[in-house]
Amino acid sequence: MGLYDETLKKISSLDKLILEKAKLELDSKMKPIKSLGKLEDIAIQIAGITSDLNYNIFKKLHLVAAADNGIVEEGVSSCPIEYTKIVSEAMLSKVAAIGILCDTLDVDLKLVDIGIKDDIKRKYKNLYRKKIKNGTNNFVKSPAMTLEDCIKAIEIGISIVEENLEYDIFSNGEMGIGNTTTSSAILYGLTGEDLDLIVGRGGGLSDEGLLKKKKIIREAVKRYELIGNTPLEILRCVGGFDIACMVGFYLGCAANSKPILIDGFISSIAGLLAMKIEPKSANYMIATHKSEEPGMAILTRELGIKPFLDMNMRLGEGTGAVLAYPIIASGLEIMKRMKNPKEVYEILG
């Protein structure tokens, strides 16, 4: 039995007793019941994930999966494929947006080269060199990945989480030119929804480019008979190594009782795939950021988890998720430090 199957067997439901205790604890505080809304939901969920009413977040880790996509050959992106490597190095050097935000909010950042076309030659302490191939196949011509490589990418994501279990909480993002196309194709395969509601302009496609992107996705999903197919088959045929690796992040966190923050569109696609593979894994995910990509409304419905940040952002990298860390910490502090009426009266004498 491989790591993939072993991980799925380890994923369990949240501790219902702890969830109820957490709810009762928050209801007892000196405030109207549920008046702190999402802060209370977060505190309760993390208590259930960790089986701890007084969970502390001392160490935070943001993981970025980076890979190139063969579908870029079809002109579905306004950015050249070389940007994947360039932006990945900017992240590692902490001069890209995600590096700056992680530094600002005291979050460790590690990037996984799971399939960048060009090699990163400089040495970085926070780089995992886990390249499977120099990018996926162009799914217009053949499936993006073999099943073996798809599962390997998921297992790499799982193993990276397991190498970092000293961290108290995780978040994730991605880098890969063309990955709004792969993500949209996956969402179309999973839901069969109207492509006009799913497909966006990504990095800034023209009207003509947008129409071409939709046509490519529609024809590929039809060719591979993906609507109604299994999540793994959809992922391997039209997905990417970056998304598969992020699926591994979610499954790895769920199997090891660690909370993980979902970012925007592409991060949510990986979360939805993980949920379709093992429904209990959704209990360990916290949706944070409403991306500007049009398919986000469908994703939110399918995941059943509503993001609480709406920042008009669509950069990716996990920028929205990282911005949520202070809110997550605030919810936990409310659980630990807020007093009930009796305690308040005693404090005030």
We report the CATH number of the domain holding residue 64 as 3.40.50.10210
Please give the pLDDT value at position 207: 78
Residues 30 and 64 in one domain: no
CATH for 30: 1.10.1610.10
The CA–CA distances, whole Å, from 50 to 11, 214, 349 equal 13, 42, 35
Please give the pLDDT value at position 101: 97
Residues 321 and 338 in one domain: no
| pLDDT tens column, 166-222 | 999 999 999 999 999 999 999 999 999 999 999 877 666 777 778 889 999 999 999
Residues 72 and 214 in one domain: yes
Residues 255 and 339 in one domain: no
Closest Cα partner for 259 from 192, 321, 168? 168
Residues 255 and 184 in one domain: yes
Residues 182 and 298 in one domain: yes
Residues 100 and 197 in one domain: yes
| pLDDT tens column, 207-225 | 777 888 999 999 999 999 9
Residues 221 and 177 in one domain: yes
Please give the pLDDT value at position 203: 63
Residues 255 and 274 in one domain: yes
Residues 87 and 215 in one domain: yes
Please state the domain count of the chain.
Answer: 2
| pLDDT tens column, 290-333 | 988 889 999 999 999 989 999 998 888 999 999 999 999 999 99
Please give the pLDDT value at position 130: 98
Residues 163 and 66 in one domain: yes
Please give the pLDDT value at position 117: 97
pTM above 0.95, yes or no: yes
Please give the pLDDT value at position 255: 98
Domain that holds residue 40: 3-55+333-348
Task: Write down how long the chain is.
Answer: 349
What is the distance of C-alpha 45 from the center of its chain? 17
| pLDDT tens column, 222-265 | 999 999 999 999 999 999 999 999 999 999 999 999 999 999 99
| pLDDT tens column, 9-24 | 999 999 999 999 999 9
State how far the Cα of 175 lies from the Cα of 199, in Å rounded to an integer.
18
Torsion of CA 17, 21, 24, 29, to 10 degrees: -160
Active site residue 317: yes
- Catalytic residue among 74, 155, 174, 317, which? 317
**Are residues 118 and 82 in contact, defined by beta-carbon separation less than 8 angstroms?**
yes
Residues 108 and 40 in one domain: no
